[in-house]
Chain A
Amino acid sequence: MNATMQKAILASGTALMLTMGAAQAFAQEKTLTISVYALAQDEYKQLVYDPFEKICGCKLVVETGNSVERLAKMEANKANPVIDMAVVSMADALAASRAGLIDKIDTSKLANFNKLYDVAKDPNKDGMSVGYTFYATSIAYRSDKMKIESWADLLKPEYASHIAWPNVTTNQGPPALYMLGQALGKDTPDLKAAIEAVGGKKDEIVTFYEKSSQLVQLMKQEEIWAAPIGRFTWAPFTKLGLPVAWATPKEGQTGGMNVMIMPKGGKKSELALQFMDFWLSTDIQKALAEKFVDSPANKDVKVSDEIANNLTYGEETAKSLKLIPSATALDQRAGWVKSWNEKVGQ
Chain B
Amino acid sequence: MFQNRAEALALALPAAIFAAAVFLVPVVILLSDGFRNPAGGWTISAYIDFFSSPLNQAVFLRTLKLGALVTVVSAVIGYAAAFAIVNLEPGMKGKVTGLVVLPLMISPVARTYAWIVILGRTGIVNQAFQALGISDVPLRILFSETAIFIGLLQLFLPLMIISLISALENMPKDAVPAARVLGANWFQVFWKVILPLTKEGLVVGGTLVFTGCLTAYITPAILGGSKVLMLETLMYQQVSVSNNFVAASVIAFILIVMSFAANILLKRVATARNKQRRAAA
A associates with B: yes
Could you tell me which A residues sit within 8 Å of B by CB distance?
A: 66, 68, 161, 167-169, 202, 205-210, 214, 217-218, 221-223, 333-334, 337, 341-342, 345-346
Residues of A within 8 A of B123 (CB): 221
Stretch at the interface among B26-34, B80-88, B95-103, B239-247: B239-247
**Could you name 26 residue pairs across A and B whose Cβ atoms are closer than 8 Å?**
A68-B240, A167-B225, A169-B237, A169-B241, A202-B227, A205-B227, A206-B142, A207-B142, A207-B225, A207-B227, A208-B225, A209-B225, A210-B221, A210-B225, A221-B116, A221-B120, A222-B122, A223-B142, A333-B242, A337-B242, A341-B53, A341-B55, A342-B54, A342-B55, A346-B55, A346-B58
Q: Are A221 and B121 closer than 8 Å at their CB atoms? A: yes
Known: A68-B243, A210-B226. A222 touches B55 (CB 8 A): no
Residues of A within 8 A of B142 (CB): 206-207, 223
Residues of A within 8 A of B237 (CB): 169, 337
Bound: A275/B204 CA distance, A:
58
Bound: A206/B226 CA distance, A:
11
- What 6 A-B pairs are tightest by C-beta distance, nearest first? A169-B241, A207-B143, A167-B226, A221-B120, A208-B226, A207-B225
Q: Are A337 and B241 closer than 8 Å at their CB atoms? A: yes
Residues of A within 8 A of B225 (CB): 167, 207-210
Q: Are A223 and B227 closer than 8 Å at their CB atoms? A: no
Task: Report the minimal beta-carbon distance from B2 to chain A, rounded to whole angstroms.
Answer: 47
Q: Are B121 and A223 closer than 8 Å at their CB atoms? A: yes
Q: Is B203 an interface residue (CB 8 A)?
A: no
Bound: A221/B122 CA distance, A:
6
Tell me the residues in window 140-188 of chain B with beta carbons closer than 8 Å to chain A beta carbons: 140, 142-143
Bound: A223/B123 CA distance, A:
10
Contacting B143 at CB < 8 Å: which of A168, A169, A206, A342? Answer: A206
Q: CB-defined interface of B110-139 with A at 8 Å, one 1/0 digit per residue?
A: 000100110011110000000000000000
How many residues of chain B get a CB closer than 8 Å to chain A's CBs? Answer: 25
Count CB-based A-B contacts (< 8 Å).
62
Q: Are A214 and B226 closer than 8 Å at their CB atoms? A: no
Q: Are B116 and A208 closer than 8 Å at their CB atoms? A: no
Q: Are A346 and B143 closer than 8 Å at their CB atoms? A: no
Residues of B within 8 A of A214 (CB): 116, 222
Across the two chains, which residue of chain B brings its CB closest to A346? B55
Across the two chains, which residue of chain B brings its CB closest to A170? B241
Q: Is B229 an interface residue (CB 8 A)?
A: yes
Task: Report the minimal beta-carbon distance from B106 to chain A, rounded to whole angstroms.
Answer: 18
Residues of B within 8 A of A66 (CB): 240
Q: Are B226 and A345 closer than 8 Å at their CB atoms? A: yes
Residues of B within 8 A of A346 (CB): 54-55, 58
Q: Are B55 and A345 closer than 8 Å at their CB atoms? A: yes
Known: A167-B225, A345-B229. A221 touches B55 (CB 8 A): no
Across the two chains, which residue of chain B brings its CB closest to A161? B140
Residues of B within 8 A of A208 (CB): 225-227
Task: Report the minimal beta-carbon distance from B126 to chain A, rounded to whole angstroms.
Answer: 10
Other A-B pairs beyond A210-B225, A214-B222, 7, CB < 8 Å? A169-B237, A169-B241, A206-B142, A221-B122, A345-B226, A346-B54, A346-B55
Bound: A182/B179 CA distance, A:
74
Across the two chains, which residue of chain A brings its CB closest to B123? A221
Task: Report the minimal beta-carbon distance from A89 to chain B, rounded to whole angstroms.
Answer: 13
Task: Report the minimal beta-carbon distance from A222 to chain B, rounded to whole angstroms.
Answer: 5
Task: Report the minimal beta-carbon distance from A294 to chain B, rounded to whole angstroms.
Answer: 23
Task: Report the minimal beta-carbon distance from A104 to chain B, rounded to whole angstroms.
Answer: 26
Task: Report the minimal beta-carbon distance from A95 to chain B, rounded to whole angstroms.
Answer: 10
Task: Report the minimal beta-carbon distance from A142 to chain B, rounded to whole angstroms.
Answer: 14
Residues of A within 8 A of B221 (CB): 210
Residues of B within 8 A of A209 (CB): 225
Residues of A within 8 A of B120 (CB): 218, 221, 223
Residues of A within 8 A of B226 (CB): 167, 169, 208, 210, 345
Task: Report the minimal beta-carbon distance from A43 to chain B, rounded to whole angstroms.
Answer: 24
Residues of B within 8 A of A167 (CB): 225-226
Residues of B within 8 A of A223 (CB): 120-122, 142
Bound: A161/B143 CA distance, A:
13
Across the two chains, which residue of chain B brings its CB closest to A69? B240
Residues of B within 8 A of A341 (CB): 53, 55
Across the two chains, which residue of chain A brings its CB closest to B58? A346
Question: Which of B58, B225, B240, B243 has the largest number of chain A CB atoms within 10 A?
Answer: B225
Q: Are A334 and B122 closer than 8 Å at their CB atoms? A: no
Known: A169-B237, A346-B58. A221 touches B117 (CB 8 A): yes
Across the two chains, which residue of chain B brings its CB closest to A202? B227
Residues of B within 8 A of A207 (CB): 142-143, 225, 227
Residues of B within 8 A of A169 (CB): 226, 237, 240-242
Bound: A207/B120 CA distance, A:
12
Task: Report the minimal beta-carbon distance from A340 to chain B, rounded to whole angstroms.
Answer: 9
Q: Are A206 and B140 closer than 8 Å at their CB atoms? A: yes
